[in-house]
Each structure stands twice: as structure tokens, then as C-alpha cells.
Structure 1
Amino acid sequence: MNLNATLFAQLIVFGILVWFTMRFVWPPIVKALDERAEKVAEGLAAAERGKSDFEQAEKRVAEILAEGRTQVTDMVANAEKRAAQIVEEAKEQAVGEAARIMAQAKADVAQEANRAREALREQVAALAVKGAESILRSEVDASRHAQMLASLKQEL
């Protein structure tokens, strides 16, 4: 066999194979590779977008948490202020009520004292009248008068 003819035939078959591969096999492979590269690029872009969205969401969550903490702190401070205010109002009401009760009690005590004085005056007047009546009915005698006064003292 002739090496030149074989080599030439192999070159022709190789050329046909290269042409066939370039014409029918290579374009679908390149197309598939391009599609795959495009999908990978889209996936990477989506991953980057997801990463940036995640970072933004984390920032937003941190802001919301900080805002929530601030609101809770404000609410607690307002509640403490309101509680102190309620306590002060209750103290003021209690002091006012105590003053009113004390004034009422003093008035009641004064009334009772006046009643007792009036009753005592009436009793003293009655005893004085009774003593005078006794003195006037009996004869005038110093020893008897002293005795009567002593008995009146015991009655008082």
C-alpha cells in the first residue's frame, strides 16, 4: 500500500469529518454550552440580587427592631410617668379625704362637747335651783347650810 494514497484518503476523510462536525455537531454543542453559560450567569446574577436583597432585608429588620425597641422604651417611660402621676393623684385625694374626715371629726367632737356642756349647765342649774329651793324652805341656820352645801357637792 501506498502511504501517500492512504494519507491522502485519511486527510479527505478527516476533512469530511471536520466539515460534518463543524456543520452538524458543533453548533448544537456550542448552543447548549452558550445556553448553559447563560443560565449560570443568570443564576449568579440572581444569587447576587438575592444576596443584596438579603442584606437590605437584614438592614430593614435591624431598623425595625431598633424602632420597636425605641417605641417600647418610650411606652415603658410613659407608663412609668402615668403610674407616678396616678400615685400622686391618689396621695392628693387621700390627703384631701383625710383632711375632710379630720374636719368632720373635729366638728363632731365640738358638737358633742357643746352638748355635754349644755347638759352639764342644765344639771348645774337644776341643782342650783334645787339647792336654793332647799335653802329657802328651811330655816336660816349656818350649820344646816353647810350640811346642805356638802350634800350638793356630793351630788355634783
Structure 2
Amino acid sequence: MTSTTILAEGGNSLLIPALPDLVWGTVAFVIVAISIYKLAWPTFMATLDERAEKIEKGLHAADAARAEIADQRAGLEEEIRDAHRDAEQIREKANAHAKAIMTDAQSQAHTSADQIIDNAHRRIAADSDAARRVLRAELGVLATELATRIVGESLTDSELAQRVTDRFLDELEASTPSAPQEA
């Protein structure tokens, strides 16, 4: 055997096939390649195209979903801002209403207090007048008794007794300092 060529047992080279094997192998390869190209390749490409189309539709659907979510978020944010504005308006109205209620309550309290004070003044004046009348009558009786004891005679004449009593009270009122009277 030679060192440059490796030969098989029949004198053929192991690395280089015989010409009929090379021709028939090439023909078989071309037949298999053409049948794959004609039969399997279109199905494979259709499957790939279908998958690419599904992926593209999925991407478009995802983009549409993202856009819809963004729109919904924007709508929600706008609703939240509106809710905050509405809540602020409600708080302002409630504060204004509370202030109005407080003002009304204060004015009613002042009015009630003024009425109570006026009623108290009237009652005091009426009680003072009643006390003056009672005191005047009692003083009149005491003055008549005193005059009767001083004079030593009974004042049976009612007109005379009344005049003596009135004169005595007038002198008594003139001699005592007058107290300030409240209306």
C-alpha cells in the first residue's frame, strides 16, 4: 500500500467513492431534496407563517391591550382627580354649612339671651313695683298706728288716714337718698 492513498479491500479509496456510487448518491440526494422542497417545505413554511401571523396578532393584541390599559389608567386617574375635587367641594360646603349653623346658633343664643335679660328686667321691675306697693301699704298701716299712738286718738276716718299715710311716705321718700332704678 501506498502512503498517499488509502485503499479499501477492493482497490477503491475510502475517502473518494466510486463513480457509480457518487452518481447514484447525488441522484438520490437530489430526489430527496426535491421531494422535501415540493412536499414538506410548503407545509413547514405554512406552519412558520401561521406561527408568525399568530405571534404578530398576539403582539398587536398585546399592544391594543396596553393601549386600552393606558386609556383605562388615564380614565381612572381622571376619575380619581374628579373624586378628589368633589370631596374638596363637599368639605368646603360642609365647612360653610357648619359656619352658617354656628352663626345661626350664636345669633339665636344672643337673641335668646337678650330675651331672657329683657324678661328678667321686666320681672325685676314688676317685683320691685309689687314690693313697693306692699311696703307702702304696710308702711301706711304702721304710719297710721304710729300717728294714732302719737296723737293719742284713733284715726277712724279712712280719708284722713290715707292723707296722713301719703304725707308720711312722701316725707320719707324725700328724706332718703334715691336708689338708681333699672329699667
Question: TM-score range with shorter-chain normalisation?
Answer: 0.7 to 0.9
Separation (CA, whole Å) in 2 of partners of 1:137 and 1:109: 40
Q: Counterpart of 1:137 in structure 2: which amino acid?
A: E
Separation (CA, whole Å) in 1 of partners of 2:153 and 2:99: 78
Q: Counterpart of 1:90 in structure 2: which amino acid?
A: A
Separation (CA, whole Å) in 2 of partners of 1:75 and 1:128: 76
- Counterpart of 1:18 (choices 33, 51, 56) is 33
Unaligned runs of 5+ residues in structure 2 are: 1-11, 155-183
Q: Please tell me whether residue 102 in structure 1 is matched to residue 112 in structure 2.
A: no
SS for the counterpart of 1:137 is coil
Separation (CA, whole Å) in 1 of partners of 2:37 and 2:146: 157
Q: Superposed, which structure 2 residues align to 1:115-154 within 5 Å?
A: 115-134=130-149, 135-137=151-153
| Alignment partner, residue 39 of structure 1 | 54
Separation (CA, whole Å) in 1 of partners of 2:33 and 2:99: 94
Q: Please tell me whether residue 7 in structure 1 is matched to residue 27 in structure 2.
A: no
Q: Counterpart of 1:38 in structure 2: which amino acid?
A: E
Separation (CA, whole Å) in 1 of partners of 2:101 and 2:123: 32
Say which one has the larger Rg.
2
Separation (CA, whole Å) in 2 of partners of 1:3 and 1:13: 15
Higher mean Cα deviation, 7-16 or 112-121? 7-16
RMSD across aligned positions (CA): 1.8
Count of residues in correspondence between the two structures: 138
Separation (CA, whole Å) in 1 of partners of 2:74 and 2:140: 97
Offset, 1:3: 4.2
SS for the counterpart of 1:93 is helix
Q: Which has the higher helix share?
A: 1
1:12-32: CA deviation from partner (whole Å, max 9, x where unpaired): 212211221022211221111
Separation (CA, whole Å) in 2 of partners of 1:128 and 1:3: 174
**So what's the TM-score if we normalise by structure 1?**
0.81
| Alignment partner, residue 54 of structure 1 | 69
Identity in percent: 25
Separation (CA, whole Å) in 2 of partners of 1:6 and 1:124: 165
| Alignment partner, residue 106 of structure 2 | 91
1:99-143: CA deviation from partner (whole Å, max 9, x where unpaired): 1110111111011100111011112221222233331529xxxxx
Separation (CA, whole Å) in 2 of partners of 1:136 and 1:59: 113
Separation (CA, whole Å) in 1 of partners of 2:58 and 2:140: 119
**So what's the TM-score if we normalise by structure 2?**
0.70
Unaligned runs of 5+ residues in structure 1 are: 139-156
Offset, 1:6: 3.0
